[in-house]
Amino acid sequence: MVSQLTLGAHVDQADPVAEAAARGADHVQFFLGDPQGYQGPEVRYSGGAAALRKDAEAAGVGLYVHAPYVINVATTNNRIRIPSRKLLQQHVDAAAEIGARGLIVHGGHVNKADDPQVGFDNWRKAVQATDLKLPLLIENTAGGDNAMTRQLERIEGVWAAIGEATGHEDVGFCLDTCHAWASGIDLATIVEAIRAITGRIDLVHANDSRDAAGSGADRHTSLGGGQVDPDLLAGVIRDAGAPVVCETPGGADAHRADFAWLREHV
């Protein structure tokens, strides 16, 4: 069993402190702005970034920021990669300003005809070019044959490349249980496998899956309500020993039920 199970959920960013209180959460995760757009981060908390940082600290609530889904620093497409790097730096800056504990970003993908090694090297260049003012947590993803962080060998390639960049010490890993299940990775051994590659697991996205193992489908559901074996799911979270964020459906009541499931099973 983990020495201390700290729990949180993905919430609306308008008032993360209140959202944490409604759930009895130790921390919360949220977007800063549009997760599907390139227009840059936006702090919607009343009083702005400084007030959010102050109020979260006063309440003892940890903050995590999820970067927009559109960020893809691995791609060979300049029209996507260059804006992605810019957007990544903007979100690093904004997340640091509110005192976030980490910025979570998806691994991205290359095009079908591309050598994956190019995507690995583009990750190295992105880390090298980014002023990391807080931990950047790269997340494993669920589907896509050309994805950079769907399969273990691709994650290994990304990490080997990043290890050559200045600032690589500030790059960590976010393990998503639904994504791992959907990608077909064995949950019984995934924590050991990821630690062997990255040396660390900084955050766990605790999500059940609506779909079968290996489906490639990124469809989260409440803990215990999906197709992931409950013992396997609990085992991943227990073995990871990292802070937990539920990205499961519903509001405060549903998330409190997920927290109860975790306390019972983990």
Chain segment 109-168, per-residue pLDDT in tens = 999 999 999 999 999 999 999 999 999 999 999 999 999 999 999 999 999 999 999 999
Half-sphere exposure for 53 (CA within 13 Å, toward CB): 11
Per the domain annotation, does 216 fall within a domain? yes
- Rounded Cα distance, 171 and 200, in Å: 10
Q: How large is the average pLDDT for residues 26-47? A: 96
Per the domain annotation, does 112 fall within a domain? yes
> By the 8 A CB rule, do 148 and 116 touch?
yes
CATH classification of the domain holding 114: 3.20.20.150
Which pLDDT band, with edges at 50, 70 and 90, does 94 fall under? very high
pLDDT over 50 at 2, yes or no: no
**Number of domains forming the structure of the chain:** 1
Per the domain annotation, does 1 fall within a domain? no
Strands 220-221 and 208-209, bridge-based pairing: antiparallel
Per the domain annotation, does 194 fall within a domain? yes
pTM value is 0.97
The Cα-based distances of 204 to 14, 118, 193, 211, 258 in angstroms read: 23, 28, 15, 19, 14
pLDDT over 80 at 86, yes or no: yes
Per the domain annotation, does 2 fall within a domain? no
Model pLDDT, residue 23: 98
> By the 8 A CB rule, do 59 and 10 touch?
no
- Rounded Cα distance, 53 and 201, in Å: 25
Length of the chain: 266
Angle in degrees, 0-180, between the axes of helices 16-23 and 252-265, rounded to the nearest 10: 50
Give DSSP secondary structure letters for 102-120: EEEEE--B--TTS-HHHHH
Assign 79 to helix, strand or coil: helix
| Helix H or strand E segment including 63 | strand 62-66
Model pLDDT, residue 4: 84
- Rounded Cα distance, 161 and 156, in Å: 9
What region, left, alpha or beta, does residue 90 occupy, with left being phi > 0 and alpha being psi -120 to 50 degrees? alpha
pLDDT over 90 at 70, yes or no: yes
Per the domain annotation, does 70 fall within a domain? yes
Neighbour-count burial for 31-43, b at 16+ CB within 10 Å, e otherwise: bbbeeeeeeebeb
Model pLDDT, residue 3: 55
Of 2 and 45, the structure prediction assigns the larger pLDDT to 45
Q: How large is the average pLDDT for residues 86-106? A: 98
Model pLDDT, residue 30: 98
Which pLDDT band, with edges at 50, 70 and 90, does 46 fall under? very high
Q: Which domain holds residue 124?
A: 7-265
Q: What is the mean pLDDT of the chain?
A: 97
For residue 2, what are the β-bridge partners?
A: none
